[in-house]
């Protein structure tokens, strides 16, 4: 079940940048593992870890007085986010891991007892979901509700942020009152070593196996880094880009990518063969993902000092990233 189109409710406030540290950092240096539990869903094993968090006591929205709402455990299964915080970055996460993790949590139909001032976390691949209890009473957390909130963070941050921006962390905030005081943290562990396959033989093999029919136009130009020649406004000089490329630079490069199914990427516009709003939305999301992928690839694979890659080599990188998600991760990330 894909959750990428999940609607967002009760969005009262939106912050960007690092207004708040991650819940993992806020947990504190003296955090202790209280319990661990491994569950199986389908052919996947998922590990849940509950950790005490002495650092939560210093947070401004932590409940300090005993709960007057209920003396027993509180069920947290149908909660919604009243606010979101997103941490922007130039690094591209593997978002499909979060979709899979949310699907797994929803399918588990489990309840986790999360004591006061503790945090439970779960991971699948590169995606991590944390549920932090900032209250003075134990919360019974439904895995389905937790998975949905984690995905809501992903949906919200990718919907609100500019398409060329990416993020590696986001928070779902509760009202912060007694009986309803929690934070769900979605974040990624960025794999530090990126290997870019540029061999011609490998390129030919992968192109034959490509899934999304991604092509580079024949008119793409690559200028020498030492050249003073200005590029045409409709073209983009690969050598002129840097890891801190502006949004306009990335959009310019993206204008040289075209997809099948009657769709071309033309600057900031979309061109379709038929007038279909659902198709337009689906393709729009696809192109936003392409732009983020390209930003990531340009930063990590292509931008080598004094090196000009051939178009076929850049083509290869794009195909690798877009072909098959699981295979692409195995080939690109080591």
Q: What is the residue-wise DSSP string for 3-50?
A: -TT--------EEESSSS--HHHHT-TT-EEEEEEEEEETTEEEEEEE
Please provide the size of the chain in residues: 334
pTM over 0.75: no
Domain range list for the chain: 14-188, 200-332
Q: Please give the pLDDT value at position 62.
A: 63
Per DSSP, 232 falls in state P
Mean pLDDT by 10 residues, the chain (334 residues): 28 35 82 88 82 87 54 72 75 66 87 92 82 91 91 75 54 83 76 38 35 33 32 29 28 34 34 55 56 49 40 38 34 26
With tokens 């995606």, the residue in question is 127
Q: What's the pLDDT at 154?
A: 81
User: What 3-state DSSP class applies to 117?
Assistant: coil
For CA atoms 183, 92, 250, 276, the dihedral sign is negative
Q: Is the Cβ–Cβ distance between 146 and 103 less than 8 Å?
A: no
User: In whole angstroms, how far apart are CA 53 and each of 32, 72, 215, 264, 291?
Assistant: 7, 21, 49, 50, 38
């Amino acid at each position: 079940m894909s959750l990428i189109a999940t609607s967002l409710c009760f969005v009262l406030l939106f912050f960007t940048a690092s207004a708040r540290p991650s819940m993992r950092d806020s947990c504190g240096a003296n955090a202790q593992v209280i319990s661990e539990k491994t569950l199986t869903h389908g052919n996947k094993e998922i590990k849940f870890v509950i950790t005490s968090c002495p650092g939560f006591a210093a947070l401004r929205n932590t409940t300090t007085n005993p709960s007057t709402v209920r003396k027993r455990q509180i069920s947290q299964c149908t909660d919604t986010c009243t606010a979101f915080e997103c941490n922007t970055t130039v690094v591209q996460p593997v978002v499909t891991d979060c979709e899979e993790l949310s699907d797994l949590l929803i399918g588990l139909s489990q309840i986790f007892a999360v004591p006061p001032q503790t945090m439970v976390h779960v991971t699948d691949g590169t995606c991590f979901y944390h549920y932090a209890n900032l209250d003075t009473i134990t919360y019974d957390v439904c895995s389905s509700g937790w998975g949905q909130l984690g995905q809501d963070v992903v949906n919200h941050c990718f919907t609100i942020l500019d398409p060329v921006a990416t993020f590696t962390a986001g928070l779902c905030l509760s009202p912060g009152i007694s009986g309803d005081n929690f934070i769900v943290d979605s974040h990624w562990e960025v794999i530090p070593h990126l290997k870019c396959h540029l061999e011609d033989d490998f390129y030919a093999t992968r192109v034959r196996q490509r899934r999304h029919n991604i092509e580079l136009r024949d008119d793409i130009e690559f200028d020498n880094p030492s050249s003073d020649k200005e590029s045409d406004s409709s073209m983009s000089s690969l050598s002129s880009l840097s890891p801190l490329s502006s949004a306009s630079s990335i959009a310019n490069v993206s204008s040289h990518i075209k997809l099948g199914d009657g769709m071309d990427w033309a600057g900031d516009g979309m061109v379709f063969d038929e007038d279909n709003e659902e198709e337009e939305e689906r393709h729009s999301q696809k192109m936003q993902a392409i732009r983020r992928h390209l930003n990531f690839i340009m930063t990590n694979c292509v931008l080598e000092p004094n090196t000009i890659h051939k178009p076929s080599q850049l083509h290869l990188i794009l195909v690798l990233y877009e072909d098959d998600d699981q295979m692409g991760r195995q080939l690109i990330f080591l």
